Amino acid sequence: MKNFNDSGSGGTPDNLVEAISELKRQKNAVILAHYYQESEIQDIADYIGDSLGLAQEAAKTDADIIVFAGVVFMAETAKILNPTRKVLLPDVEAGCSLADNCPADRFREFVEAHPDHTVITYVNCSAEVKALSDILCTSSNAVKIIESVPKDKPIIFAPDKHLGRYLIKETGRDLVLWDGSCIVHEQFDHKKIVRLKARHPEAKVIAHPECPEAILNEADHIGSTSSLLNYVKSSSDSSFIVVTESGIIHQMQKACPDKTFHPAPPDNGCSCNECPFMKLNTMEKLYRCLRDEAPEMDVAPEIIKRALVPLERMLELS
Ligand code: 13P
Ligand code: SF4
């Protein structure tokens, strides 16, 4: 077994890329990373994707260890799909405002207050909330999932009200919405985006459906992170205003080095918008988590059993 020089600061090797690759090989581990991770993590990952792609990849991996470079709800999803495998998350504080503001006890009351409704839940929620749902969805497949429910059947949609409003518009269905939102997408500044459009009239505006309606009204294309990436790859346009977490721009620039990407500014002094939860993961934490095989995701077997049903329904329909 190769030993790495631990002379770097805090007991971490000087060459983290090499050390992580070696640990991955020794332990038969796979690194799954979301597009909002820092660039170095994206570059060392075995698979980079949106929430749906990552769940699909987690469902088919034969690695002994899954390291999830993302947030808790994504790692929990991987654990639900792989109860016998070790699922690691570099920082267990990597939550999500949507999941955090939809506690299972309040969600249960909400579901009970709407009997006969089909419960469609965005994967950005806790494992307990998943276990109370009929079908899960991501921003990639939400329209398809809603359309799979008979027209006469009322639907609850949780926890993102902005995605919910977008889906009402797209599907013509009357969804009962939970009042939640993403702190990153809610913070984009409409006036600044309009000014950016005026400065770059040639640029196409691409936005994630977690953005509020006024911002989506400015968009030329709306979609999940993968959909936004595919749009810029296949477009004949060469300039884009990107209204989602700025981590995705790394893959856009790699795929299209000759195109220009303008990150949309939030309602503060920053020039681009970063998810504070996603950015808790670092290369150092990724290395330590692989080395120590901790922190490990733990989901109660009873919750896994119940949450697997709506998760598998989603995967079958995707
Ligand atoms: P995607 O499913 O588009 O990757 O979105 C995940 C997410 O957390 C968006 O904020
Ligand atoms: Fe959650 Fe928003 Fe961060 Fe995505 S960007 S993980 S929805 S807080």
Render each residue's pLDDT in the chain as its tens digit; 318 residues: 344 444 444 578 999 999 999 999 999 999 999 999 999 999 999 999 999 999 999 999 999 999 999 999 999 999 999 999 999 999 999 999 999 999 999 999 999 999 999 999 999 999 999 999 999 999 999 999 999 999 999 999 999 999 999 999 999 999 999 999 999 999 999 999 999 999 999 999 999 999 999 999 999 999 999 999 999 999 999 999 999 999 999 999 999 999 999 999 988 888 779 999 999 999 999 999 999 999 999 999 999 999 999 999 999 999
Domain limits for position 202: 188-263
Alpha-carbon distance 318 to 307, whole Å? Answer: 17
Alpha-carbon distance 270 to 288, whole Å? Answer: 30
251 lies in the same domain as 289: no
Could you tell me the pTM of the whole model? 0.95
73: CATH? 3.40.50.10800
- In ligand 1, the atom with minimum distance to the C-alpha of 275 is 10
Backbone φ and ψ of 247, nearest 5°: -55, -30
- In ligand 2, the atom with minimum distance to the C-alpha of 99 is 1
Does 268 reside within a domain? no
Q: 171 in ligand 1 pocket by Cβ < 6 Å?
A: no
119 lies in the same domain as 152: yes
The 3-state DSSP composition of the chain as helix, strand, coil percent (nearest 5) reads 45, 15, 40
Which is nearest to 45 in space by CA: 257, 286, 275, 245?
286
Does 156 reside within a domain? yes
Buried residues in 119-149 as b, exposed as e (16+ CB within 10 A): bbbbbbbbbbbbbbbbbbbbbbbbbebbebb
Please say whether the dihedral angle defined by the alpha carbons of residues 270, 272, 278 and 282, taken in this order, is positive or negative: negative
236 lies in the same domain as 162: no
Please report the pLDDT score of residue 10 as a whole number: 54
Does 6 reside within a domain? no
Does 128 reside within a domain? yes
Q: 206 in ligand 1 pocket by Cβ < 6 Å?
A: no
Does 171 reside within a domain? yes
Please report the pLDDT score of residue 4 as a whole number: 45
- In ligand 2, the atom with minimum distance to the C-alpha of 185 is 2
153 lies in the same domain as 87: no
Please report the pLDDT score of residue 1 as a whole number: 39
155 lies in the same domain as 290: no
* Pairing mode, strands 155-158 and 118-122: parallel
79 lies in the same domain as 115: no
Structure tokens at 114: 């709407």
Alpha-carbon distance 189 to 277, whole Å? Answer: 20
85 lies in the same domain as 120: no
Please report the pLDDT score of residue 5 as a whole number: 44
**Residue type at position 260:** T
Alpha-carbon distance 109 to 107, whole Å? Answer: 5
Per the CB < 8 A criterion, the answer to whether 243 and 211 are in contact is yes
175 lies in the same domain as 107: yes
Give the helix ranges, DSSP H, for the chain.
Answer: 16-27, 39-44, 51-60, 72-81, 97-100, 104-112, 127-131, 142-147, 161-171, 190-199, 213-216, 225-234, 249-255, 283-292, 301-317
- Which of 96, 123, 178 has most ligand 2 atoms within 8 Å of its beta carbon, as the pocket-test mutant? 96
DSSP state at residue 123 = S
Distance, CA 295 to ligand 1 centroid (Å)?
Answer: 23
DSSP state at residue 264 = P
Which is nearest to 311 in space by CA: 63, 175, 151, 122?
122
Does 216 reside within a domain? yes
Task: Identify the residue whose C-alpha is closest to ligand 1 atom 6.
Answer: 51
DSSP state at residue 279 = G
Question: What is the phi-psi region of residue 293: left when phi exceeds 0, alpha when psi lies from -120 to 50, beta otherwise?
Answer: left
Instruction: Give how many domains the chain has, as a whole number.
Output: 3
89 lies in the same domain as 108: no
